[in-house]
C-alpha cells in the first residue's frame, strides 16, 4: 500500500503541514509507505503511482484554501475511479468557521475516489499569523492515520 498525502498550508507556522507530516509519520510507523507533498510541489503525473490519496488544507473563508481546490480541479477524473481517499483540514473551532474537509471530500467524490473514513478536522487557535494547534490535536491526527492504516489493511 502506497499513500500520497497532498496538503496546502498558508500560515507562517505551517500548521496544516505539521498535521500532514504527523499523518505521514504515523502511517510509516504502521509500515505503510507514505509520501507527503505541499500542493505546489507535487508532480501530478506521479499520482497514478499511489494506491490512496489523503488531501488536506486549512479552512479559509468557510472553505478549503485555493491551492488545494486548484490542485483537485486540475486532476483528470478518469484516473481515480474507486481509489481510496480521505480529507483533512485545520480550522478554528466555531460554528461559523465552515469546513475545508467537506469541500475536499466533495471534490474527491467528484473525481471518482471512494471515501474510506470520516474527515479529520484539526482545531487551531490564535490570531493573525500566530496560529497554532490546540492541545491534543496532533494525537487526533495520529489516531486518524492509524484508523486509515487499519481500514486499508482489511
Q: What is the mean pLDDT of residues 84-90?
A: 95
CA–CA dist 99, 81 (Å, integer): 25
Task: Name the residue among 107, 133, 109 with its Cα closest to residue 121.
Answer: 133
Q: Which pLDDT does position 31 carry in this prediction?
A: 94
Tally the domains of the chain: 1
What's residue 95's pLDDT? 62
| pLDDT, tens digit (0-9, with 9 covering 90-100), for 110-148 | 999 999 999 999 988 877 667 778 888 899 999 999 999
Report pLDDT digits (tens) over 24-80: 999 999 999 999 999 999 998 888 899 999 999 988 777 788 899 999 999 987 778
pLDDT at 42: 93
Q: Check residue 81 and give its pLDDT.
A: 86
How far CA 59 is from CA of 22, 27, 30, 64, 69, in Å, comes to 19, 24, 29, 5, 11
Domain of residue 112 covers 2-153
96 pLDDT band, cuts 50/70/90, is low
Q: pTM of this prediction?
A: 0.91
Amino acid at each position: 500500500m502506497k499513500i500520497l498525502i497532498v496538503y496546502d498550508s498558508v500560515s507562517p507556522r505551517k500548521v496544516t503541514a505539521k498535521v500532514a507530516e504527523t499523518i505521514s509519520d504515523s502511517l510509516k510507523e504502521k509500515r505503510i509507505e507514505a509520501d507527503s507533498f505541499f500542493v505546489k510541489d507535487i508532480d501530478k503525473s506521479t499520482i497514478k503511482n499511489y494506491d490512496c490519496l489523503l488531501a488536506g488544507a486549512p479552512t479559509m473563508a468557510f472553505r478549503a484554501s485555493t491551492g488545494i481546490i486548484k490542485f483537485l480541479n486540475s486532476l483528470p477524473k478518469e484516473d481515480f475511479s474507486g481509489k481510496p481517499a480521505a480529507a483533512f483540514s485545520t480550522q478554528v473551532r466555531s460554528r461559523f468557521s465552515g469546513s475545508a474537509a467537506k469541500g475536499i471530500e466533495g471534490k474527491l467524490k467528484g473525481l471518482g475516489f471512494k471515501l474510506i473514513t470520516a474527515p479529520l478536522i484539526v482545531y487551531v487557535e490564535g490570531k493573525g499569523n500566530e496560529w497554532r494547534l490546540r492541545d491534543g490535536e496532533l494525537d487526533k491526527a495520529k489516531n486518524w492515520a492509524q484508523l486509515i492504516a487499519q481500514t486499508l489493511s482489511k
